[in-house]
Amino acid sequence: MTESLNDPVDHLACTELVELVTAFLEGDLDPATERRVVDHISLCDGCELYVDQVRQTTDVLAGLSGGAPLSPADRDRLLAAFRDSSA
Amino acid sequence: MPPSELPPDDQLAGLLLAGDEAAFAQVVDAWSPGMVRLARVYVSTEDSAAEVVQEAWLAVVRGIATFAGRSSLRTWVYRIVANTAQRRGGREARSVPASSLGAGDGGGDAQGPTVDPARFAPPGHPHAGHWQRPPSPWPEQALLAAEVRAQVAAAVAGLPARQRVVITLRDVHGYDSDEVCSILEISAANQRVLLHRARAAVRSCLERYLADGEEAS
Ligand SMILES: [Zn+2]
């Protein structure tokens, strides 16, 4: 398809941008698409906020880490098994 | 104990092979909480997850001599956890079919747009494809609240299995995409699709939760 003079830039729709967010954040986009995404975000408040909220979501997810440590009994059994195996 | 205090991988594997119990105790303490969380993705109870981790560590102890260093030690251990948990999960109601994690890039949970199309101007509209109902900013303080973390945890728990395990490894545990592909034995493209859908779904839950909070106050 050829581009008309009135439409020199191949604009992304917001519907397309929201599907590229992860690839964009992962740095997996080809340079041309990455530029279109950056250009779009710089002009579109909705998409800028959307990308930001995906980042905020990953921040909250990172705060979930931790998890339960082993019970002392389980830990002792493992250390004993390790001792036996290398004896 | 933060993993950063652990000796580098090649050294660590050597210490374990040599039967260094202090080094073994150190990795057990550093990695077990994350292993429990990973196991919990596949099995239905905390007890079950703890048993999986126990079983996986015993397999590590038995198999350390076979660790070939092709992946990082942590990745190797996590893969053992994933496989062990998957086998056990297969015997439980909340099963992740063994084939589902490695299966193609599609699957029932990887179709369609990740944002409700009603949020955008419809085709034929002068602004077709642009936000009609853009996101509203979130109050920064709210994101620090314990209830928000609980909401996000619940949103993750409600995801399809393949998305749940990928977002848990990537965003909760902080693994990079190569490690996750290696642990789950999936392609980079598959990993990214699953991560994308999972993040979009969790963001959307968070948005709904924060919007309800506004209306309620
Ligand atoms: Zn936009």
Using H for helix, E for strand and C for coil, what is the string for B33-49? HHHHHHHHHHCCCHHHH
Looking at the structure, do residues B107 and B187 belong to the same domain, yes or no? yes
Looking at the structure, do residues B123 and B88 belong to the same domain, yes or no? no
What burial class does residue A42 get, using C-beta atoms within 10 Å of its C-beta: 0-12 exposed, 13-18 middle, 19+ buried?
exposed
> Roughly how many angstroms between the first and final C-alpha of chain A, as a whole number?
72
Checking if the pLDDT of B75 tops 70, the result is: yes
B131: phi then psi, degrees, rounded to nearest 5 = -55, 130
Q: What tens digit of pLDDT does each residue of A63-82 get?
A: 887 677 889 999 999 999 99
What's the one-letter identity of residue B47? D
Looking at the structure, do residues B191 and B122 belong to the same domain, yes or no? yes
B77 touches chain A (CB under 8 A): no
Pairwise pLDDT comparison (B108 vs B67), residue with the higher score: B67
How far apart (Å, rounded) are the C-alpha atoms in residues B100 and B90?
Answer: 11
Specify whether the CB–CB gap between A63 and B149 falls below 8 A: yes
Domain that holds residue B51: 3-94
Looking at the structure, do residues B79 and B120 belong to the same domain, yes or no? no
Specify whether the CB–CB gap between A58 and B171 falls below 8 A: yes
Contact check, Cβ <8 Å, B54/A78: yes
User: Per residue in B74-106, is it b (16+ CB within 10 Å) or e — as a string?
Assistant: bbbbbbbbbbbbbebbeeeeebbeeebbeeeee
Q: Which pTM was predicted?
A: 0.79
Looking at the structure, do residues B73 and B156 belong to the same domain, yes or no? no
Contact check, Cβ <8 Å, B129/A14: yes
pLDDT at B91: 66
pLDDT at B92: 62
Which residues from A are below 8 Å from B205, CB to CB?
none
pLDDT at B77: 93
Contact check, Cβ <8 Å, B129/A13: yes
Which residues from A are below 8 Å from B28, CB to CB?
70, 75, 78-79
Domain end call among B94, B124, B150: B94
For residue B120, give the 3-state DSSP assignment: strand
A69 touches chain B (CB under 8 A): yes
CA of B150 to the centre of ligand 1 (A): 30
